[in-house]
Amino acid sequence: MKIATDRQPSGRGQSNAESAAPASAIGLIFGSGLLFSCLDAGAKFLVTSGIEAPFVTWVRYLTHLLLVLLLLRAWSNRRVFAVGSVPLQILRSAFLFGSTIFNFIALQTLQLAETVSIAFFAPMLTTALAGPLLGEWAGWRRWAAILVGLVGVLVVTRPGFGTFGIGHIFALCSMTCNASYVIMTRRMSTTETAESMIFYSALLPVILMLPAVPLYASMPTGPLQWAVILSLGFFGGMGHWLLILAYRKATTTALAPYPYLQIVWMIGFGYLFFDQLPDALTLTGAAIIVASGLYIVHREHRLRLATRSLPTAETETLAKKL
């Protein structure tokens, strides 16, 4: 009884610490959501103006690469170039590249709100894949939440009702690549430096895409298109940088609800720049996906707190219950 009493206050203290996010961290998350929304809006403007998506993607990573070299001071920072596994770095970069190019292609036909709603399912897919790939098996409640989130995706895409198109397929491919990218990041976090993963995720797409650039190159035709295409790397690079700063100030659990607010930016930009508003079913599907994602975060948070206070022998049984 004495041991249990001593552990409970500690658990509550950890819970309070993990559930509270400082205003500065929340502000950084809002800022990153704004930058990522600017990235997607700019990409949609370019690909619907006739510039090929592969070329837009290549320029996005080229400018991102230059920004990373400056921010990380690569000329004096050896951690930028450190590599633990070249094949894993290539595979992770390929997943990130796939997530970007598939998203840009999807934006040719889909609204901003549609693509981001489908993208919100990525954390749930990550939870599902973490079991067979990382040994991080989800309990039945989280699997139920994943299935509910899948229902939300079906509400957004509506296959069989005349609204499902090629854009939805590319958006789903983008989401799958993003989930795989997160899985690879988790797997490599103990063997690779954070600086190298940021650097090579930009460098490798630039190199691998270089032979195809002449085939897809379609130069911007005016100052506005030039400004937008050159800004994509800034929006993407700085968006990721703000995320890094935010997660230095608060835990993943504490910040989990706030990235979903990016849909507000996406709806606003869709209306302001493209005169598009999502229909009721898209908003309903997005709400289902967000609710499912937040529930999974809640269950994983409870699992972390419980495993800190329970003996190791009980951890596996607890995980199955959660």
Contact 104, 58 (CB under 8 A): no
Burial class (CB in 10 A: 0-12, 13-18, 19+), 154: middle
User: CA 218, CA 212: separation in Å to the nearest integer?
Assistant: 12
User: CA 126, CA 119: separation in Å to the nearest integer?
Assistant: 12
Can you read off the two tokens belonging to residue 271? 């209306």
- Predicted pLDDT of residue 294: 83
In the chain, where the domains are located:
28-321
Q: How many CB atoms lie under 10 A from the CB of residue 297?
A: 20
- Predicted pLDDT of residue 191: 82
- Predicted pLDDT of residue 53: 92
User: CA 12, CA 211: separation in Å to the nearest integer?
Assistant: 56
Q: Which of 145, 143, 167 is nearest to 156 (CA)?
A: 167
Q: What is the mean pLDDT of each run of 10 residues along the chain (322 residues)?
A: 39 48 82 93 94 92 90 84 88 92 94 90 81 74 83 80 81 92 81 84 89 84 92 87 78 73 90 90 88 79 64 40 38
- Predicted pLDDT of residue 227: 94
- Say whether pTM exceeds 0.85: no
How far CA 193 is from CA of 82, 89, 185, 196, 247, in Å, comes to 7, 11, 11, 5, 16
Burial class (CB in 10 A: 0-12, 13-18, 19+), 91: middle
User: CA 320, CA 318: separation in Å to the nearest integer?
Assistant: 5
How much of the chain is in helix, strand and coil states, percent to nearest 5?
Answer: 80, 0, 20
User: CA 178, CA 193: separation in Å to the nearest integer?
Assistant: 20
- Predicted pLDDT of residue 315: 38
User: CA 149, CA 131: separation in Å to the nearest integer?
Assistant: 18
Amino acid at 301: H
Contact 67, 237 (CB under 8 A): yes
User: CA 257, CA 247: separation in Å to the nearest integer?
Assistant: 13
Between helix 53-71 and helix 86-106 the angle, nearest 10°, is 130
The HSE-up count of residue 129 (CA atoms within 13 Å, CB side) is 18
Which residues make Cβ contacts (< 8 Å) with residue 259, sequence separation at least 6? 29, 32, 33
Contact 286, 156 (CB under 8 A): yes
